[in-house]
Amino acid sequence: MQLLQNVSLKPYNTFGIDIPAAHFIEVSSVDMLPAVTDATAGMHRRVLGGGSNVLLTQPVTGAVIYNNIKGIHKDKEDDNHVWLTVNAGEVWHSFVMYAIANGWAGVENLALIPGTVGAAPIQNIGAYGIEAKETIESVTAWHWEDKRFYTYSNFECTFGYRDSIFKHQLKDKVFITSVTFKLNKKPSFNTTYGAIEQELHKMGITELSIQAIADAVIAIRTSKLPDPKQIGNAGSFFKNPTIPIAQFNNLKQQHPNIPSYPVDAQTIKVPAGWLIEQCGWKGYRRGDTGVHEKQALVLVNYGHAIGSEVWQLSGDILQSVEDKFGIVLEREVQVW
Ligand X SMILES: Cc1cc2nc3c(=O)[nH]c(=O)nc-3n(C[C@H](O)[C@H](O)[C@H](O)COP(=O)(O)OP(=O)(O)OC[C@H]3O[C@@H](n4cnc5c(N)ncnc54)[C@H](O)[C@@H]3O)c2cc1C
Would you please indicate which residues are annotated as catalytic (active-site) residues?
Answer: 162, 236, 332
Q: Is 21 helix (H, G, I), strand (E, B) or coil?
A: strand
Q: How far is the CB of 247 from ligand X (least distance, A)?
A: 25
Contact between 88 and 61 (Cβ < 8 Å):
no
Q: How far is the CB of 169 from ligand X (least distance, A)?
A: 13
Residue 34, number of CB atoms within 10 A of its CB: 12
Q: Is 261 helix (H, G, I), strand (E, B) or coil?
A: strand
Alpha-carbon Rg for the chain, nearest whole angstrom, is 20
**Closer residue to ligand X (CB): 235 or 317:** 235
What DSSP state is assigned to residue 157?
T
Runs of H (alpha helix) within the chain: 33-39, 92-101, 196-202, 210-224, 245-254, 272-278, 307-325
Dihedral sign from CA coordinates of 329, 130, 115, 227: negative
Q: How far is the CB of 186 from ligand X (least distance, A)?
A: 26
Contact between 318 and 329 (Cβ < 8 Å):
yes
Q: Which residues are at the interface with ligand X (CB under 6 A)?
A: 14, 46-54, 67, 88, 113-116, 118-120, 122-123, 125-127, 174-176, 225, 228, 233-235, 334
**Closer residue to ligand X (CB): 175 or 238:** 175
**Closer residue to ligand X (CB): 46 or 331:** 46
**Closer residue to ligand X (CB): 7 or 225:** 225
Q: How far is the CB of 178 from ligand X (least distance, A)?
A: 9
